[in-house]
Amino acid sequence: MTREVIRVEPLSTYLERVKAPACIATRHNDTVYVSGLPPFDPATGSVVVDATVERQTELVLAQLKLCVETAGSSLDQVLKCNVYCTSAEKFAAVNAIYDRYFPNNPPARIFVCVPKWFGPFDIEIDCIAAA
């Protein structure tokens, strides 16, 4: 099977609009790969600015859920998440929201601190899921 690009709206259109050289998700055989997602607000069509890290995390994980479901999977099938955040001090706040999306048998995960993003947000999460 060849790699299949999965369109997830309105995220795919947003990436095209900002000319990002990436797609939101791809599937190869029984594996789904979801790109790192900033806190995108589908209601406004852009990245959320000046929101709490809790709100940002909620938006990112809601998008992640939409992406894996659009690709034919679910959060229960997520194998690994990479969490990138601008501060280790936000670890507990991120975990409080993350735990709501992965309450039982959470996937493997890494939490990496990054100095800053190209935009005014604090978190990005990507994942790999079984399909």
Kindly report, residue by residue over 68-123, the tens digit of the pLDDT.
Answer: 999 999 999 999 999 999 999 999 999 999 999 999 999 999 999 998 877 789 99
pLDDT, one tens digit per residue, over 4-22 is 999 999 889 888 888 888 9
How far apart CA 130 and CA 2 sit, in angstroms, is 16
Output the six-digit token pair for 52.
Answer: 């709490």
pTM of the predicted model over 0.95: no
How far from the centroid of its chain's Cα atoms is residue 48's Cα? 14
Per DSSP, the three-state class of 108 is strand
CA distances 23 to 14, 37, 72, 94, 131, Å, are: 10, 11, 16, 25, 18
Please list, residue by residue across 55-93, b when 16 or more beta carbons sit within 10 angstroms of its beta carbon and e when fewer do.
ebbbbbbbbbbbbbebbebebebbeebebbbbeeebeeb
